[in-house]
Amino acid sequence: MQYDPIMGERDHDLDYLNLAQVAIVVLDSEGRVIRINRKGCGILDREDRDVVGKNWFESFIPDRLRDRLAAVHGRLMAGDVEPVEYFENPVVNREGEERLVAWHNTVLRDPEGAIVGSLSSGEDITERKRAEQELSDIRYALDQAAIVAITDGRGIIRYANDKFCEISQFSREELIGQDHRMLNSGFHPKEFIRNLWRTISSGKVWRGEIRNRTKGGGIYWVDTTIVPFTDDRGKPYQFLAIRSDITDRKRAEEELRKQESLARVGQMAAVVAHEVKNPLAGIGGAIEIIGGRLPSDSPDRQVVANILQRIDSLNRRVQDLLLFSRPRTPRIATVHLPALLHETAELLAEDPTLARVKVEIFGPELSLAGDPEQLKDVFLNLLLNAGQAMGGNGNIRVSAEPGNGACRITVEDSGAGMPPEVKEKIFEPFFTTKNRGTGLGLAIAKHIVDGHGGKIGVESTAGRGTKITVSLPLGPHRGPVGKA
C-alpha cells in the first residue's frame, strides 16, 4: 500500500471515499487533483484516470471563474484566508455542460500542521436549482397576472402578492398574520362561507366568485380558485388562493340588469302616466270652473285652491314619469354656462320654501356643447336637493373649473350629508329619502349627463354636507377667466 502525505494510505482511503453519496475532491497546494471519488467522476462524466493529476481550475472550472477561484485557493494554501464553509460554483463536464455544485470545504495539514491541500465535498444541485428557477419564473408570471395569497391550515395569511395588496388597499404587513375575514363585505350569507370552508377542508378545490371589501370600504369582486395542499393523511396544511379581478364585469352585468329592469319599469310608467295625465287635466279644469263660481268671500275657495295645488304637484310627478320613461334626445347647441347657472338659480328663488337659500356662483366665462333646457333641469334639480338638504336655509356654492377638454361643475351644500348606504343609491330611480317625491330627479339628471357624454358623482359624509360634481365636455369657445 502506498502512503500519500495528504491522504495517507491511498488505496484503502479511496474505498471509503467511494462509499460517500457526495462528490469528494482532494487538491494539493498547487490545485492539482489528488483524489476524486466515483460521485465526483459522475458529475464530471469522466473516469478517475482522466481527472487525477489535472489542475482542477484549468481543467474543470468555467473560463469566467477560473482565475478568481484559483486565486482564492492560493490564498487558502498560504493561510491568508479561512476556508469558506459553503459556496456554490459550476464545474464543466466532458460534454462542456456546466453543472452547479454546492461545496463544503476544509484544509488538509501534514503532521507538522502545515497546510498541504484542500478537501471539498460537493452535491450536484443543477436540477434542483433549475426547478427552483422554473418555480420562481412561474410564480413571477402568476404574480403578474393574478391576485395570489397563501394561508396555513387555519386560514391565516402567510403570503400576499403585490396585486393582492393593490386591490385590497392593505399593506403586506397588515395582511400577513390575519385571515380573510378582514375582507368580508357582508354580501355573502354565512352558508356560502361555510360551504367554501367545508370544501377546501376536505381537500377539494373550490371555485367561485366572491365580493370583498377594501381597506377604504370600497367593493371589489374576484373570480377565485382555492387549492388545498394536503399531508400524508389527506389533511390540508396550507391553501393557495388564485384570484382575478372581475369587478368591471360584475359592474357591467349589474348595469345591464338595471337597464333591463328600468326599461320594463319605464314602459309601465309611460302607460300609467299617459292614462293619468289627460284625466288629471280634466279634473283640474273642472275644479277651476267650480272655484270660479264660488262667491269671493266663500271659505270653500281655499279648499279649491288646495285641491288645485295638489293636482299641480301630482301633474309634476306625472311629468317626471314621462320624462324618465321617454327621455328626449339632447338638442345640442352652444351653452353659455354662467348665464345658464344664474338663470337656474333664479328659478330656485321662485320656490317660497327656499327663500332663505343663497346661491353663490364662481368660475370662468366658458361655453359648453349641450342642450340648454336639459342642462337647466339638471342643475335646478341639484340646487333643489341642496336647498332642501339645508332645510331651506343656508348657502349653496356652485363652482366651475375647466381642464382637459371638460368642465367640472360642483354644487356644494352645508346640509346634513348622507350615510354611505344612501349615497350609493341616490342615482337609482324611485329611490328617495323624502316623504313626498318620486325619486326620479337625480336619476333623470344622471341620464341627461350621460346623454351629453359627461359624468356625475357625489361626495358626502353624514353631518358634513354634500358635494355633487358634474363633468361635461367643453364647447368650442372659452372666454376669459373671471368670477361669475
Residue 280's contacts (CB-CB under 8 Å, 6 or more residues apart) are 311, 314, 315, 318
pLDDT over 50 at 327, yes or no: yes
Section 368-377 average pLDDT:
89
pLDDT over 90 at 116, yes or no: yes
Pairing of strands 366-370, 98-109: unpaired
pLDDT over 70 at 323, yes or no: no
> pLDDT at position 479, please?
39
Section 434-457 average pLDDT:
80
According to DSSP H, which parts of 242-299 are helical? 247-293
> pLDDT at position 274, please?
65
Among candidate residues 468, 482, 334, the one with its CA nearest the CA of residue 409: 468
Grid-cell match 321617454, residue found = 326
> pLDDT at position 100, please?
96
> pLDDT at position 244, please?
94
pLDDT over 70 at 248, yes or no: yes
pLDDT, greater one: 358 or 275? 358
Among candidate residues 237, 212, 206, the one with its CA nearest the CA of residue 224: 206
Average pLDDT, the chain: 85
pLDDT over 50 at 267, yes or no: yes
| Percent share of the chain, pLDDT over 90 | 49
> pLDDT at position 176, please?
95
pLDDT, greater one: 441 or 268? 441
The region of weakest confidence among 70-79, 129-138, 234-243 is: 129-138
DSSP state of 438: -
Section 359-371 average pLDDT:
88
> pLDDT at position 104, please?
92
User: Do residues 147 and 242 make contact, with C-beta atoms less than 8 angstroms apart?
Assistant: yes
CB-count burial class (<10 Å; 0-12, 13-18, 19+) for 385: buried
pLDDT, greater one: 416 or 210? 210
pLDDT band at 180 (very low <50, low <70, confident <90, very high): very high
User: Do residues 228 and 205 make contact, with C-beta atoms less than 8 angstroms apart?
Assistant: yes
> pLDDT at position 178, please?
94
Grid-cell match 378582514, residue found = 182
Q: Which amino acid is at 84?
A: V
Of 2-11, 35-44, 376-385, the range with the highest mean pLDDT is: 35-44
Of 12-21, 64-73, 397-406, the range with the highest mean pLDDT is: 64-73
Section 405-420 average pLDDT:
88
pLDDT over 70 at 272, yes or no: no
pLDDT over 60 at 10, yes or no: no
Section 24-41 average pLDDT:
94
Cα–Cα distance between 319 and 321 in angstroms, integer? Answer: 5
pLDDT band at 326 (very low <50, low <70, confident <90, very high): low
pLDDT band at 273 (very low <50, low <70, confident <90, very high): low
pLDDT, greater one: 213 or 137? 213
E strand or H helix that includes residue 411: strand 406-412
Section 339-354 average pLDDT:
87
pLDDT over 80 at 260, yes or no: no
The string of pLDDT tens digits covering residues 87-101 is: 899 999 999 999 999
Cα–Cα distance between 458 and 388 in angstroms, integer? Answer: 16
pLDDT over 60 at 435, yes or no: no
Cα–Cα distance between 204 and 208 in angstroms, integer? Answer: 13
Among candidate residues 228, 233, 220, the one with its CA nearest the CA of residue 196: 228
Phi, psi (degrees; rounded to nearest 5) at 267: -60, -45
Q: Which amino acid is at 425?
A: K
> pLDDT at position 263, please?
66
The region of weakest confidence among 7-11, 154-158, 166-170 is: 7-11
Cα–Cα distance between 257 and 240 in angstroms, integer? Answer: 33
Residue 353, all three cell numbers: 320654501
> pLDDT at position 102, please?
95
| Percent share of the chain, pLDDT over 70 | 88
Section 380-387 average pLDDT:
90
Q: How far apart, in Å, are the Cα atoms of 52 and each of 32, 98, 421? A: 8, 20, 82
